[in-house]
Amino acid sequence: MNNLDAGLPDIGDAAGAPHGYDDDARSAVYRVIAERRDMRHFRRDPVDPAALRRLLWAAHHAPSVGYMQPWRFMRITDVALRTAIHALVEEERLATARALGEREEQFMRLKVEGVLDCGELLVAALCDGRDRHVFGRRTLPEMDLASCACAIQNMWLAARAEGLGMGWVSIFDPHKLAALLRMPGDARPIAVLCIGHVDAFYRAPMLELEGWAARLPEGVLMGENGWPEAAA
Ligand SMILES: Cc1cc2nc3c(=O)[nH]c(=O)nc-3n(C[C@H](O)[C@H](O)[C@H](O)COP(=O)(O)O)c2cc1C
């Protein structure tokens, strides 16, 4: 079986843990993980406001280091702002292409964002004043970013279950985006989130379908009592 057809894991029998979900619910969890895709192709139809609220609910129920809940979201409804965000992404897309050297042309052929087409555009940012949060961050300050990523992943999964596509765009200069959106203090944007209806979800990661990268073999993930052997 190749990676593109990897499909769903065999959910087997419930592990016998007393608090496990029933088989249908367990299947739904693995299904949404398998079928979530980073989307760049959207239809322009509006997103149901109630569905958008549910996605934000999902984000806000993510785990976070020291329960700091560092995520902040900005909904972009102003067309001029959306256009300006797209311009920042385009500027960085060209810089990224140049930095890629021999893969420049291949990168330029990839679609890496759907900023102008999606029904809803959100910007996700780390809140300001994060230095005062040291619980779980004294030696690993980047755990604020990890927490925010958990929130975005929750949204991503909820969006897939709702039949909505979502794309995480990180191709922008965070200082310029923070200035454009007048973010306070040390707040830092980490994602431009494109959300909306799609004609179809890619059947595999688009970067895999386009031959940019492939999923790593599972042996790379996990070692027993040491670093995974296959990664060595
Ligand atoms: C932190 C993060 C940043 C990302 N930034 C971009 C981006 O700027 N442009 C893009 O096309 N995809 C971006 N992606 C999506 C990845 O390309 C995508 O997750 C990966 O190719 C696997 O595809 P899948 O999400 O459909 O499984 C980002 C994903 C993550 C987790």
Predicted local distance difference test score (pLDDT) of residue 218? 84
Ligand 1 neighbourhood includes 161 CB (under 6 angstroms): no
User: 């790593």: which residue's tokens?
Assistant: 216
| Side chain identity at residue 142, one-letter code | E
Reply yes or no on whether the pLDDT at 1 is more than 60: no
Predicted local distance difference test score (pLDDT) of residue 3? 38
Could you read off the pLDDT of 158-182 as tens digits, one per residue?
Answer: 999 999 999 999 999 999 999 999 9
Mean pLDDT of all residues in 182-188: 98
Ligand 1 neighbourhood includes 130 CB (under 6 angstroms): no
Q: Of 76-80, 86-90, 228-232, which gets the smallest average pLDDT?
A: 228-232
Structure tokens at 80: 């001029």
Reply yes or no on whether the pLDDT at 67 is more than 60: yes
Predicted local distance difference test score (pLDDT) of residue 4? 41
Cβ-defined contacts of 53-60 (< 8 Å, 24+):
54/158, 54/162, 55/155, 55/158, 55/159, 55/162, 55/164, 55/195, 56/155, 57/158, 58/154, 58/155, 58/157, 58/158, 59/151, 59/152, 59/154, 59/155, 60/151
Ligand 1 neighbourhood includes 85 CB (under 6 angstroms): no
Predicted local distance difference test score (pLDDT) of residue 21? 94
Q: How far apart are CA 34 and CA 203, in angstroms?
A: 10
Predicted local distance difference test score (pLDDT) of residue 229? 83
User: Which residue has the CA at smallest separation from atom 20 of ligand 1?
Assistant: 205
Distance 113 CA to ligand 1 centre (A): 10
Q: How far apart are CA 75 and CA 107, in angstroms?
A: 29
Ligand 1 neighbourhood includes 41 CB (under 6 angstroms): no
Could you read off the pLDDT of 11-46 as tens digits, one per residue?
Answer: 887 767 889 999 999 999 999 999 999 999 999 999
Task: Looking at the chain, list the stretches that DSSP marks H as alpha helix, in order from N- to C-terminal side.
Answer: 23-35, 49-60, 79-99, 104-109, 143-162, 174-180, 206-209
Residue 6 pLDDT class (50, 70, 90 cuts)? low
Predicted local distance difference test score (pLDDT) of residue 79? 98
Ligand 1 neighbourhood includes 170 CB (under 6 angstroms): yes
User: Which residue has the CA at smallest separation from atom 15 of ligand 1?
Assistant: 38
Cβ-defined contacts of 46-52 (< 8 Å, 24+):
46/119, 47/119, 47/120, 47/164, 47/195, 47/196, 47/197, 51/162, 51/164, 52/120, 52/195
User: Which residue has the CA at smallest separation from atom 16 of ligand 1?
Assistant: 38
Q: In the predicted model, what is the mean pLDDT of the chain?
A: 94
Reply yes or no on whether the pLDDT at 49 is more than 90: yes
**DSSP-assigned letter for residue 193:** E
Share above pLDDT 90 across residues of the chain, in percent, rounded to a whole number: 88
Mean pLDDT of all residues in 225-230: 88
Reply yes or no on whether the pLDDT at 2 is more than 50: no
Complete domains list, the chain, with CATH: 36-198 (3.40.109.10)
Ligand 1 atom at minimal distance to the Cα of residue 89? 8
Instruction: Say if residues 121 and 193 touch (Cβ distance below 8 Å).
Output: yes
Q: How far apart are CA 124 and CA 142, in angstroms?
A: 16
